[in-house]
Amino acid sequence: MRTVKEISSGGVVYRNRQGVLEVALIMARRRWRLPKGQVEEGEGLEETALREVREETGLEGKVVEKLGDITYWYTNKTHDGETIRIFKRVYFYLVRYLSGDTARHDEEVEDVRWWPIEQARKRLFYPTERKMMLQAIACLADGRLKTPGARIERAGKRTRDEGVV
C-alpha cells in the first residue's frame, strides 16, 4: 500500500465574552472538532490556519501563539479506487477572535458554536484535539496573553493525563 504525507493547519479560536473565555468548535460528520485543513501551495502554516478558521467557522482572527502539532495515520481511497495510507501532521495555533458570524460557515460544516473553554474541551471528539485545547488553556491561564477580566470556568475532577475533566 502506498503512503502519502499530508500537512494541515488549524486553530483554537477564542474570545472573551462577558468575562468568560469561549472557544468556537465546528460540527462535521456529527463530531465536534477544531477547524483545520490542508496547506495549499505557496501558503504558510499560519495563513492556512486563518483561512480554515474563516472558511469553516465564518470567523476572522489573529494568530497569537503556536500550540503544537499532532500526527496520525488513516487510510483513504483515491479517485481510481486505490487504497492509500496517509500520515497526517496538523499544526495548531491559538487564534484570537476579531470579527465574523458563525452562521457564515461553509457547507462541509454542519454547525459552529461558541462554548466556554472547559466545555469545549470536553465536547471535542478526538483526544489529540483535546490535548491541543489543554495547550490553549495553559497559554490563556499563564498570563502571557492579555485577556483582561476573563476567567476559565473549571468544573469536574482531575485525571492524571488530562487535568480537569
pLDDT recorded at residue 165: 28
Backbone angles phi, psi at 26, to 5 degrees: -105, 150
User: pLDDT tens digits for 14-57?
Assistant: 999 998 999 999 999 999 999 999 999 999 999 999 999 999 99
Beta-ladder partners of 161: none
Alpha-carbon span 8 to 133, nearest angstrom: 17
C-alpha 165: how far from its chain's center?
A: 18
CATH class of 2-156: alpha beta
Global pTM?
Answer: 0.86
Q: List the single range of 1-5, 28-32, 145-149 with lowest mean pLDDT.
A: 145-149
Instruction: Taking residues 101-109, report their average pLDDT.
Output: 93
pLDDT recorded at residue 145: 65
What is the average pLDDT value for the chain, to the nearest integer? 89
Given a contact cutoff of 8 angstroms between Cβ atoms, the answer to whether 31 and 110 are in contact is no
pLDDT recorded at residue 14: 97
